Amino acid sequence: MSSLSQQINIFRPFGPTIAKTNIPQELIEKLNSYYDNVHKNNEKNDKLNMGHKLAGMVKNEIRIEAKFAQDSGWANFLASTVNAYIMSIYKKKITKFNIIHTWIVSQFQNEYNPTHTHSGHLSGVGYLKVPSKFGETIQKNKKNNLNGAPELIHGSKQFANESTFPIKPKVGEFYLFPNYLMHTVYPFHDTDEERRSVSFNALIDEEIYNIYLN
């Protein structure tokens, strides 16, 4: 397991614990370079495109190969972040961290991710590229423009309790959450720029994840 100390911020906007941290700039550059090189190679791009397996209505969702994840430090970053997350909640160290899948999503205007959950025990999303604009809302008087934004969803809106948590994507920011937490990503428009994100699903110690074992 990684011995790195990962700085994260913990918050609970509506129940499930969410963590926020930052992807190191060097790692952002490696992930972007990896995606660009795969995308240029039509054969490899077709081989690694996970679009048919993922929920997104997006053309290009590229699986990150295990060797690159290890060699680049991406797997180590994920393990360190997850360990810090579990330590902050349960004061326990994980002894198991198995990545099921990790992938990069290249989203352009009018593409979107419907509401969905992930497999495994923990999931997360970080941002590698963000457009300078996401387009105006159709109704100009709308206070919140959610174009291109991910939104985390849990339960239903009640007194003193929100059920959604929208995120304004920023390059380098990374959010970690339980696999069962529903989330969606809204489409954007009026730009040819790319919104590029990186996600993962992973398994940890069953004794930690399954709280009903104790």
Topology of 14-137+145-213 in CATH?
Jelly Rolls (2.60.120)
Strands 150-153 and 60-63, by their bridges, are unpaired
What pLDDT score was predicted for residue 203?
Answer: 98
Convert the pLDDT of each residue in 38-66 to its tens digit.
Answer: 999 999 999 999 877 777 788 889 999 99
Instruction: Look up tokens 């699903």; give the residue.
Output: 201
Q: Among residues of the chain, what percentage have pLDDT more than 90?
A: 75
Domain map of the chain by residue range? Answer: 14-137+145-213
CA distances from 92 to 82, 85, 205, 208 (A): 11, 10, 10, 8
Distance CA 19, CA 6 (A): 11
Could you read off the pLDDT of 106-154 as tens digits, one per residue? 999 999 999 999 999 999 999 999 999 998 888 877 778 899 999 999 9
Q: Decide if 106 contacts 188 (C-beta within 8 A).
A: no
pLDDT at 13: 64
Residue type, 58: V
- pLDDT tens for each residue of 81-97: 999 999 999 999 999 99
pLDDT of residue 159: 85
pLDDT for the residue 155: 87
Q: Flag whether pLDDT at 68 surpasses 80.
A: yes
What 3-state DSSP class applies to 153? strand
pLDDT at 63: 96
What distance in Å separates the CA atoms of residue 42 and residue 74, rounded to the nearest whole number? 24
pTM above 0.85, yes or no: yes
Question: How many CB atoms lie under 10 A from the CB of residue 184?
Answer: 18
Looking at every residue in the chain, the average pLDDT score rounds to 91
